[in-house]
Structure 1
Amino acid sequence: MTPGAVGVMVRGEKLELLAERAIYWPREQTLIVADLHWGKSETFAALGVPIALGQTDDELARLDAALRFTGAMRLLVLGDLIHGPHSLAPHVVARIGAWRATHDVSLTLIAGNHDRWVRDLPEPWRIDARIACEERGPFRFCHHPEPDPGHYVFAGHLHPTVKLEGGGDALRLPCFYLGADVGVLPAFNAFTNGVVMGFDAGARVFAIADNTVVPLT
């Protein structure tokens, strides 16, 4: 188990919820992430909107850590790898290409709504497959969190958060939300707005705080 992680069972499969905002599936040696939104700063800058820099480096550092801790051989992205039409700035393409050259893992992209902006991603990024959804074992992996009668669905898109209140203060934290039939991963990009999830009956909610996954239900 990686530092700060929590182990869970879903449909008979052991999974690890990582503080790096990822899920590791040991049996398949697969690291699962969603909503990286690479090039978000560049897209906003092109529109004249200031936004914090350094997002890509932060994400790559967390990917490095998750891949190192787990020894994953495959990276599965549940959509929104990039953010917009201006995401492929030369320095972004080069930075990610250099990172990709240091990791001999396969990379499959489940196409999300933001990925439509770029039809062909840079060759140095080595995207092995770009598909709509993937079914493997008891799971169906998609971008949008829509139930499937034959599988437990893992998805992204919502950027789920949880709101904690007490003593007159309120705090919003990224979270993993595991419902009865659909699980939603937190946005891997830390600079995203998100949907505040409710504590629905039977749902398991895990917040991420101080580099630790914290069970809330």
Structure 2
Amino acid sequence: MKREDHAALPLQLAGEEVLLLAQRALYWPREKMLVVADIHFGKAASFRKLGVPVPGGTTSANVAALDALIAACDVRHIMFLGDFLHAKAAHADATLAVMLRWRLRHPALRLTVVRGNHDAHAGDPPAALDIAMVDEPHVLAPFAFCHHPDMLVPSYVLAGHVHPLYRLRRGWELLTLPCFLIGDTRMVLPSFGAFTGGHAVATQPAERIVVSTGDAVFEVPGPA
């Protein structure tokens, strides 16, 4: 992974080097693992089924974003931190066809999904996608891969669920950006998926904030 132009921020977590990526993902070089949270495949299809006029193409945008990271990094394993499918409507033929075509382009890629709250309602993806489905916490030392960040485990928690956003204020200007919340015992990743939205978060004193502009990642300076 090239670290030019602030597209990746190296960080030590639990004795391991990881990279926080501008594309709202984490890369673990030792395991050649890409970690993404809350991709929410089929969310737009779910809204359209309810009669809400939202744009299409989000599934294709999600797989294109994954392809870009696979091309940029040496990825052998993708760990999805829950909410892989948004709802039962994500099993629509058109959505699954895009996902299956993507899977067939990467037959050797190992895929693991840690079930989240949306996965519990949507159900597991079809077996043809060849995805290992696991419950939280899924431990691969020194990390515990979770969906919910409040899991109490001895390992360092990597989680999603919150879709964190950080509000940067400069005078009258306000900019809201996806962010990584980094604490002593856990990290919450921003949502990866297209059309997922987010929630502005109030940070704890010991937490570090790394924001993503889409092209770069920067740590927000703490209080002086």
Say if 2:47 is the partner of 1:44: yes
Q: Which residue is equivalent to 1:209?
A: 213
CA distance, structure 2, for counterparts of residue 149 and residue 121 of structure 1 = 27
Equivalent position to 2:23, from 20, 23, 26: 20
Structure 2 residue ranges without an equivalent (≥5)? none
Contact 2:85–2:125 (Cα < 8 Å) also in 1: no
Say if 2:67 is the partner of 1:89: no
CA distance, structure 2, for counterparts of residue 128 and residue 189 of structure 1 = 20
Contact 1:20–1:63 (Cα < 8 Å) also in 2: no
- Distance 1:100-1:52 versus aligned 2 partners, 3 A rule: same
CA displacement 1:10-31 (0-9 Å, x = unmatched):
1111001111211111111111
Equivalent position to 2:180, from 161, 167, 176: 176
Structure 1 residue ranges without an equivalent (≥5)? none
Q: TM-score, normalised by structure 1?
A: 0.94
1:191 counterpart SS class: coil
- Distance 1:114-1:208 versus aligned 2 partners, 3 A rule: same
- Distance 1:95-1:190 versus aligned 2 partners, 3 A rule: closer
- Distance 1:185-1:127 versus aligned 2 partners, 3 A rule: same
Contact 2:24–2:214 (Cα < 8 Å) also in 1: no
**Counterparts in 2 of 1:191-202, with a 5 A limit?**
191-202=195-206
- Distance 1:210-1:141 versus aligned 2 partners, 3 A rule: closer
CA distance, structure 2, for counterparts of residue 169 and residue 88 of structure 1 = 41
CA distance, structure 2, for counterparts of residue 167 and residue 55 of structure 1 = 35
RMSD across aligned positions (CA):
1.5
Equivalent position to 2:12, from 2, 9, 12: 9
CA distance, structure 2, for counterparts of residue 210 and residue 155 of structure 1 = 20
Q: Name the % identity.
A: 38
**Counterparts in 2 of 1:119-198, with a 5 A limit?**
119-198=123-202
1:147, CA displacement in angstroms?
4.4
Q: TM-score, normalised by structure 2?
A: 0.91
1:210, CA displacement in angstroms?
4.2
How many residues of Structure 1 are paired with residues of Structure 2 in the alignment?
Answer: 217
2:89 counterpart SS class: coil
